[in-house]
Amino acid sequence: MLENIKTLFGSKEKRLVKKWKKEHQQISEYSHQALASYVRGDIKTLQKYLLILRDLTINHLMEEDIEFYRLKRERSDDESLIDGIDNFIETFREIKKAWRDFICDYSKEGAIYDENFHKKFEELVYILEDRIRYEENTLYKHLNNM
């Protein structure tokens, strides 16, 4: 019976992967819209996208942390999965911190949007999108097979 339900609705992991991929797409789209707003000089719209990105990415990262912890606990016998999660967590730590700090700093009232902001934001978006591709092509493939 449980297997029939999983077949019908998919595993929790598959549903999470689908949700997280959609959020990755939104993060990328909002980031590019924010960059375009900066280039146009539309600071009000830039700020709107930065606030959306702040909320979306913080919620996304927190949910990933919680679910990865759950998976490590529940699937402690799956060495490949545990190694993949550990590798992801370790190699993403600095990028995650840099993104979170940047997006929180620049979504605050009174932030200064200058060329330094633009350059750093472009670099972070490029790094984050590269990291998203890596995550989806490695860890998410494993989760989809559960």
Q: Which domain holds residue 27?
A: 13-144
Does any domain span residue 27?
Answer: yes
87 occurs within a structural domain: yes
The answer to whether residue 2 sits within a structural domain is: no
Residue 4 forms part of a structural domain: no
| 8 within a domain of the structure (yes/no) | no
Q: What is the pTM of this model?
A: 0.88
Distance CA 87, CA 134 (A): 12
* 103 in a structural domain: yes
SS3 per residue for the chain: CHHHHHHHHCCHHHHHHHHHHHHHHHHHHHHHHHHHHHHHCCHHHHHHHHHHHHHHHHHHHHHHHHHHHHHHHHCCCCHHHHHHHHHHHHHHHHHHHHHHHHHHHHCCCCCCCCHHHHHHHHHHHHHHHHHHHHHHHCHHHHHHCC
Residue 3 belongs to a domain: no
> In this structure, what token pair is assigned to residue 129?
């999108």
**Average pLDDT per consecutive 10 residues, the chain (146 residues; last block may be shorter):** 48 92 97 98 97 96 93 91 91 93 94 97 96 91 83
C-alpha torsion sign, points 37, 38, 39, 41:
positive
From the CB of residue 58, how many other CB atoms can be counted at a distance below 10 Å?
14
- Residue 7 is predicted with a pLDDT of 47
Residue 92 lies in a domain: yes
Q: Which two tokens stand for residue 57?
A: 């990415």
Q: Note whether 117 and 106 are within 8 A (CB).
A: yes
Domain total in the chain: 1
